[in-house]
Amino acid sequence: MVEYLPIFLFAAVCLLLMLGYPVAFTLAGTALAFAVGGILAGNFDPDFLSALPGRLFGTINNATLIAVPLFILMGVILEKSKVAEELLGSMAKVFGGLRGGLGISVVVVGMLLAASTGIVGATVVTMGLLSLPSMLRNGYSPSLAAGTICATGTLGQIIPPSIALVLLGDVMSNAYQRAQLSMDIFNPKTVSVGDLFMGALLPGLLLVALYIAYLLIYAMLKPESAPVANTERIAGHEIRNSLLPPLILITVVLGSILAGAATPTEAAGVGAIGALILAIVKRQMNLTMLSEAVTNTMKITGMVFMILIGAAVFSLVFRGFGGEELIQGFFLNMPGGVMGATFVVMVAIFLLGFILDFIEITFVVVPIVGPILLAMGLDPVWLGIMIALNLQTSFLTPPFGFALFYLRGVAPESLPTSAIYRGVIPFIIIQLLVLTSLWLWPSLATWLPSVVNR
């Protein structure tokens, strides 16, 4: 029974989180309670806890994580400056003459918002408030409208510069170094957040292309459910004024990272300042809105870092109980070798995505399984993108997908929950197709980083 204490610890954390207790305090409190019990029973070495201050100090000194509040601030400013509203209006006029054109405009704007905010909840809520009434008013099928908005909102999980990829990149970097040290490689290679950004670019754009293709095919087969929404012509200067500024901002931020001219942290700083300048130039920002943006950024950042601290305590206690050796032995004895182990991990992460947010999974699950899988020979960029896509899919999947809850919270009561569930099913199939393609052809994620880093 003693050797299964790590499993009991993990199960206890999941149970308490499902009951609604705060994530950060649940992770740290449960772990410390198990540690105290283990010390009293003689099953836990208290010296493990002495490493905790050094871990927390290392987290505070981690320059990569400075990108998190800066990218959040960039996204919140763009959200409050009504850039999304202007973009959606312009794109609706550009594509409005097509059957399914309004849905395509939602996907395009959602992609740009994903590249700007990187926060799934913010994108789903924003697109739900702005585009859902318009789609329903123009005769769109309720399920198609809801599914398009939910799926587009989750692009913030995979389209760089994503907050999820920043956090995942930092965790994968540590996991990769630990994996190499466990193999007696004392001059380890590194994997950066920029590598994950490059690796996510092709799968993310493939998802967007398949979403648009599905909308066009749906509109051809059922024109009454995705009608022509608008035949109003749009002047070139309107497109330029609404589309060019955010495109320049995204290009500068993402391009500087991909070109190696700036680290993600430096690019995030440029993005935050650029978003503020853009909001001021558009006269959509005042001191009250700026104060709200900074306050929201502090709240989200405080939540992220508290979870990070709680996860550090959890992983330390989990390792102290021998959890890493237990899982490693389980993986090594599993049929199918490394790919069999990876498949089991992917299924587990998919199911955990129903009850845990990507932050908890990134900080709790990935540090446990990541070093073991990487030591078995997996590419860290491929594994990171597989995890990100997997979580994106679980956020869409009924009945517990987070994106469904976000949309349900802002959708009118006239839109039944069953319509939301039906609407996301085709997009889940698209997600699974891309996930399967990435499984079969890892170069979808690894090719671009290998070319850029050559």
Find the helix or strand (DSSP H, E) in which 253 lies. helix 236-258
Among candidate residues 303, 341, 54, 18, the one with its CA nearest the CA of residue 167? 303
Find the helix or strand (DSSP H, E) in which 383 lies. helix 380-396
Give residue 84's pLDDT.
67
CB 109 within 8 A of CB 87: yes
* Cα–Cα distance measured from residue 54 to residue 58, given in angstroms and rounded to the nearest whole number: 6
In this prediction, the residues of the chain whose per-residue pLDDT falls under 70 are 1-2, 84, 96, 115-122, 186-188, 229-242, 355, 454
CB 313 within 8 A of CB 48: no
* Cα–Cα distance measured from residue 206 to residue 403, given in angstroms and rounded to the nearest whole number: 20
Among candidate residues 365, 404, 372, the one with its CA nearest the CA of residue 387? 365
List C-alpha distances in Å: 213 to 13, 35, 193, 427, 430: 41, 53, 30, 11, 10
Helices (H), 19-66: 23-41, 52-60
Among candidate residues 95, 212, 98, 203, the one with its CA nearest the CA of residue 152? 212
Give residue 225's pLDDT.
81
Give residue 21's pLDDT.
78
Return the bridge partners of 295, or none.
none
CB 160 within 8 A of CB 204: yes
Among candidate residues 307, 315, 306, the one with its CA nearest the CA of residue 49? 315
Q: Phi first, then psi: what are they for 232, rounded to 5°?
A: -70, 130
Give the largest CA-CA distance in the chain: 76
CB 68 within 8 A of CB 301: yes
Give residue 429's pLDDT.
93
Give residue 426's pLDDT.
93
Find the helix or strand (DSSP H, E) in which 300 lies. helix 287-320
* Cα–Cα distance measured from residue 367 to residue 383, given in angstroms and rounded to the nearest whole number: 13
Give residue 331's pLDDT.
74
* Cα–Cα distance measured from residue 451 to residue 453, given in angstroms and rounded to the nearest whole number: 6
Return the bridge partners of 228, or none.
99
Among candidate residues 292, 299, 244, 239, the one with its CA nearest the CA of residue 77? 292
Residues 6+ apart with CB under 8 A from 281: 245
Buried residues in 165-180 as b, exposed as e (16+ CB within 10 A): bbbbbbbbbbbbbbbb
Give residue 267's pLDDT.
83
The CA angle 411-416-422, to the nearest 5 degrees, is 105
* Cα–Cα distance measured from residue 193 to residue 213, given in angstroms and rounded to the nearest whole number: 30
